[in-house]
Amino acid sequence: MFMQQSYVSNLRPNCLTLHKPCLHGIGSSSNQTCFKVGSSRPLLTKQKNESKFKRNQCNKIKAVAVSEEAVDKKTVKVKATVTVQPTLGGLFREVGARGYDDFKDLLGKSILLEFVSIELDPETNLEKKRIKGYVHLTHRSTKEIKYEADFDVPANFGEIGAVLVENEHKRETFMKEIVLDGFLTGPIKFACDSWVHSKFDNPQLRVFFSNKSYLPSETPEGLKRLREGELVTLRGNGRGERKIFERIYDYDVYNDLGNPDKDIHLKRPVLGGKEHPYPRRCRTGRPRCAKDPLSEQPSNKVYVPRDESFSEVKQVTFSANTLQSALHALVPVLRTSAVDKNLGFPVFSAIDDLFNEGFNLPPQQQHDFKTALPRLVKLVRDARNDILRFETPATMDKDRFFWFRDEEFGRQTIAGLNPCCIQLVTEWPLKSKLDPNVYGPAESAITTDIVEKQIRGFSTVEEAIKQKKLFVLDYYDFFLPLVEEVRKLEGTTLYGSRTLFYLNEDGTVRPLAIELARPPIGKKPLWRQVFIPSWHSTEVWLWRLAKAHVLAHDAGYHQLVSHWLRTHCCTEPYIIATNRQLSAMHPIYRLLLPHFRYTMEINALAREALINADGVIESSFTPKQLSILVSSIAYDKHWQFDLQALPNDLIHRGLAEKDPNAPHGLKLAIEDYPYANDGLVLWDAIKSWVTDYVNHYYNDDSRTVVSDKELQAWWKEIRTVGHGDKKDEPWWPNLKTNEDLIEIVTTIVWITSGHHAAVNFGQYTYAGYFPNRPAIARNNMPTEDPSDQELELFYDKPEVTLLKCFPSQIQAMTVMTVLDILSSHSPDEEYLGQTVEPAWEEEPMIKAAFEKFQGRLMELEGIVDERNADKSLRNRNGAGILPYELLKPTSEPGVTGKGVPYSISI
């Protein structure tokens, strides 16, 4: 028999880890409530969902539900079960460590638990004395290890709000969950899914808060000190080199991309600061280089806070192991295999052989990448060689000559890998904003006469602009100032470029003209030329060469700006600030948590071998050693937080205008714009979910947002520290109302999910056959200061001229290998809306909102299929045309060209 006093709560009583997960995400399994110790679970009535006022008022009412037996004994017998994930040895493999740990398990003194009450002692007004004890090993298998113990919990202890853990092993432990059993309502779970350090490395106890979310002003008195103390711990003191088991989040500039101690030519400028503005990365505290005190020494293992690392499942089955194998094993083998690193492909059939016959790797070598790259590296049993044979990209599989067609060139600007750079032409003639005294005339060489010859019979230029039919892919001002410096580098070249497109009546866009320009360099005057589609062979081949240069510009801008800068790089400060300023109990922390998983680890890998000095980007993309500076220039000149929101971005580029009567409130300039069409459905679904979530926890009164000290500190730190080089910009949104918070969070979620998916998971699909998107253009146009020999080759064998402009064999295979990996979904991928976080599931209003979100994502799946089957939508349907599925929410593992993960995942 129980005597009960029920109370109404609109706060979730689930238990969640404080930090990022290593397996399947934080809190992936807990469905149980926290409790008033010595009582049954508080009643949850239908009133729970009614109002914010009742939530706040009822929060003050104590839960009392004590059995008669408990009253007599004044204690409740609670069985604690701790589930630990077996690891591959953790971080520490010291001799004797396993024996010591087994001995501690035998003694039953390896994991210590302490329960923390949410209440203060009424007599002392201090925190109540914690209930503590060891759990003992009871089960061990290859899948899990269990520890158990019984605890006597006083009936007047109060609701448990946190569990503290001490790991007395010498090695770290991956803790899955803690279950407290002994209550009539069933077991109560604390989801952990996190590494717990050894006390020999750090004596500080690890804290796991319950899943009940609290705004700072609502924090129970018994948890206030822990809440504040954990944030202090996570911020660190900004000194010393970070140790791999630590969970400290701090900021630093990008000063670790070079390696001047190895070679002074590998010195790179510091990114971040007045000279080269840039977002901040996570501080590692490594020593500085001897030859350049501004540069941090490189390392094969870059520190990230422990729970930001890939799960062991992800490491073993796919991502980190695969990427590291490719970058640290396969790429060096490719480089040493090449007789001439500048050797190109002699004929187009040699490119096709990469997919049909493969490339022979050196024999009799133990390659670490054979098992890590099963898609690419084939073991031929009757030969002693390993064969690097590439999978045929889906685009090439549907149409072998897709890359050759002008209509496909136009289609990919709005439905390809980089559909977020095309702009509406609003003024004519096109004009540069660069100094004409340095870079030549401002007015474009693409004249009215040139354009009207292309669109004769359709409209004039004036009419085309008025009817919003002219669009431009404009890299003229962006790249022209870099041309001279890039041309000093071996094996590459660069132009400023403009590509003009016309919107046809059927909704497709066709290229009209390409302008390439070289600024005055030394005694050489300005050179620029306009190339157009033609029926004559000479002009046709010049047009194809000009397209190759534009595609190389677009490929570089895509990789360095649309992909790396806008998603990976700019998100890292959000992750750091969220962990430093928002408690794990904060509802916004819990909302953002799944959108940040694994991103810092991927970014660390990128700094090791992708964007570093002499890395894949520098060795294989047009800007070469200036590549990372390209992203800094783009950040300085073009990046704005408010324009990262999809609707704002479309409006800014002239691709949409506000219209309350149009779908999503926007009228698109190109109605069949697959990236925008699907993206806006996804944007609206995300915003609706975020709106429901935010409005549940914050009153309509804007003072709730303004008075949330953690939230205000979070947004301030993002602006003034994480993106401190832009702190004084006027476009930063204010954070004063629910609407402000909704827009900010929706933008962050869109960038980490939808935008990243659109520019990442189609990389191998569209660039795996590199003539479609060459990463580098190595030779100048044959009409720019031509030699007799170059002109003779061009007129005799124009195909060879194009092949010599394309990437070398080593460059092509390196990029293709990396793009295959980056485009792949891991077997344990976490797709947007697929799995509910435990903290969301326990709150009925949030769970209902999430289920509505799931429903909208399922609807998007059907919308994408329906659109791709619509023959009137010619940018996503037609003979040999690849359907647009990059924003289709779910996917199978592997390279699929679809699937939107929660976070920036490879």
- CB-based contact 777:552 (threshold 8 Å): yes
pLDDT at site 340: 81
Selection from 605, 699, 650 nearest residue 217 by Cα: 699
More confident position, 61 or 854: 854
Residue with tokens 């399994």: 29
pLDDT at site 699: 82
Q: Spell 658-691 as b/e; 16+ CB within 10 A means b.
A: eeeeeebebebbbebbbbbbbbbbbbbbbbbbbb
Q: What is the mean pLDDT of residues 200-221?
A: 92
- CB-based contact 188:210 (threshold 8 Å): no
Q: What is the mean pLDDT of residues 212-232?
A: 95
For residue 429, cis peptide bond before it (omega within 30 degrees of 0): yes
Which residue numbers are catalytic?
A: 563, 568, 756, 760, 906
Report the C-alpha gap between 397 and 395 in whole angstroms. Answer: 5
Residue with tokens 């496909």: 408
Quote the percentage of the chain above a pLDDT of 70: 85
600: which residues sit within 8 A by CB, 6+ positions away? 282, 304, 305, 308, 572, 575
Selection from 172, 192, 6, 189 nearest residue 80 by Cα: 189
Report the C-alpha gap between 714 and 248 in whole angstroms. Answer: 16
339: which residues sit within 8 A by CB, 6+ positions away? none
* Tokens, residue 459: 């409209």
Q: pLDDT tens, 264-298?
A: 999 999 999 999 999 999 999 999 999 999 999 98
Q: How far is CA 84 from CA 23, 93, 189, 593, 735, in A?
A: 11, 18, 14, 22, 41
Residue with tokens 């220039």: 633
Report the C-alpha gap between 246 and 465 in whole angstroms. Answer: 58
Report the C-alpha gap between 815 and 10 in whole angstroms. Answer: 51
Question: Which of 392-406, 509-523, 696-710 is predicted with the least confidence, judged by mean pLDDT?
Answer: 696-710
pLDDT band, residue 325 (cuts 50/70/90): low
Q: pLDDT tens, 470-515?
A: 999 999 999 999 999 999 999 999 999 999 999 999 999 999 999 9
pLDDT at site 111: 94
Which H/E stretch holds residue 692? Answer: helix 674-697
- Other Cβ atoms closer than 10 A to 41: 18
pLDDT band, residue 104 (cuts 50/70/90): confident
Q: Is the overall model pTM greater than 0.85, yes or no?
A: yes
Q: pLDDT tens, 360-400?
A: 877 655 555 555 566 776 654 445 567 888 999 999 999 99
Judged by DSSP in three states, 21 sits in coil
pLDDT at site 838: 84
Q: pLDDT tens, 599-650?
A: 999 999 899 889 999 999 999 999 999 999 999 999 999 999 999 999 999 9
Bridge partner residues of 271 (DSSP): 254
* Tokens, residue 903: 């976070």
Which H/E stretch holds residue 778? Answer: none
pLDDT band, residue 157 (cuts 50/70/90): confident
Report the C-alpha gap between 26 and 594 in whole angstroms. Answer: 8
- What is the distance between the terminal CA atoms of the chain, rounded to a whole angstrom? 55
Report the C-alpha gap between 644 and 567 in whole angstroms. Answer: 10
Q: pLDDT tens, 526-552?
A: 999 999 999 999 999 999 999 999 999
* Tokens, residue 774: 């060459």
